[in-house]
Amino acid sequence: MLIMSCTYTYPTGHQIMKVFWTKNNVKGEESLDLSEDPEYSQRLQYLGDTQQNCSIRLSHVTQKDEHMYCFRLISDKPDGKWTGYPGVTLTVTDLQVEAPERVTEGHNVSLTCNSSCTLTDRATFIWYRNSQPLTERRDGNNQLLLQSVRREDAGRYSCALHGHKKYSDAVTLNVMYPPKNVSVSINGSGEIVEGDSVTLSCSSDANPPALSFSWFKENQSSAVGSGQSFSALQSGRFYCEAHNQHGSQRSDAVTVTFKGAYINWKCQILLILPIFDVFDNISGCRHMIRHNPARGGYRGLSVIVAPNRWSYVVQ
């Protein structure tokens, strides 16, 4: 909505018969009364009188309303027709939101809705975040103050004048914050056997994303690894710390347990004769081999070893 303020005077001896506003008036052509124009009849209100005030109010202004507007005065005399030149040239500009590119969580931030138009003191601004109205933020001035900004305040902000359908272009408010919700996940499943390794992964919610990760074993003051992933080679409770330029946070610890390696074996005697036992060390494991002197040598044993699942036959 806008108000065009206007005053006028006319010669004495004239009686005013009609006053109205017109647009893009051309000298020598009949002027159209805007109050009779379907595009204006519901939006234009004459606030003046037939004495000296010729102000009007135009609501729901859009860029289609950019024209030169003139006041027209007609009296009861044949020569009593006047048009106020050069009139008022209306330029419609979009509202613009001015906001910082980024703000740190916990700080205060002010957004401003700017207009090149001269607005009335009663102009009311409405603010929107992600196209949803902030009903609690209908302020009489053109500023939106967000105190102790939270990450939930991030989004695309726009503004509008109450009673107008035209919104400003949206601007993005980027809220920066340190890592939160830091957690550790264990990759892989099943039994973890001593000598193997298990991979731990660290994740977090941060803006900007975490720049570095440190790994710790409980009850140890120094880090045992770095990077978003870490290979644990021994049992214990491990946790990670995620860092960005705004701070850091540690995860809860997870427990990694390695089970000792084991060997199950059994022997099947292929020949039962007078025998005596000898022992041989094969691949670091102690296996029993029986000697048969009557046959002049060793007889075979079928040896099954788990969990490596190999067999060994001695002839």
pLDDT digits (tens, 9 = 90+) for 265-311: 444 444 344 444 444 444 434 344 444 343 344 344 444 433 433 34
Q: What architecture is the 96-169 domain classified under in CATH? A: Sandwich (2.60)
Q: Is the pLDDT of residue 131 over 70?
A: yes
Nearest alpha carbon to residue 19 among 72, 92, 88? 72
Looking at the chain, the domain(s) classified CATH 2.60.40.10 span 2-89, 96-169, 177-256
Distance CA 1, CA 61 (A): 6
Helix (H) or strand (E) holding 138: none
Q: How many residues does the chain have?
A: 315
The class level of CATH for 2-89 reads mainly beta
Q: What is the pLDDT of residue 225?
A: 95
**Residue given tokens 């916990």 in the structure block:** 106
For residue 251, the SS3 value is coil
CATH topology of domain 177-256: Immunoglobulin-like (2.60.40)
Distance CA 17, CA 287 (A): 126
What are the residues whose beta carbons fall under 8 Å from the beta carbon of 85, sequence distance 6 or more? 25, 70
Distance CA 164, CA 57 (A): 13
Nearest alpha carbon to residue 183 among 220, 228, 140? 228
Distance CA 229, CA 215 (A): 9
| Ramachandran category for residue 39: left, alpha or beta (phi over 0 → left; psi -120 to 50 → alpha) | alpha
For residue 151, the SS3 value is helix
Distance CA 173, CA 157 (A): 7
What are the residues whose beta carbons fall under 8 Å from the beta carbon of 14, sequence distance 6 or more? 75, 76, 77, 80
At 22, list the tokens.
């017109």
What's the mean per-residue pLDDT of the chain?
A: 79
Q: Is the pLDDT of residue 179 over 90?
A: yes
Residue 92: what residue type?
Answer: V
pLDDT digits (tens, 9 = 90+) for 49-103: 988 999 999 988 877 888 999 999 999 999 899 998 888 888 877 788 999 989 9
Q: Is the pLDDT of residue 2 over 70?
A: yes
Beta strands 44-46; 16-23: pairing state = unpaired
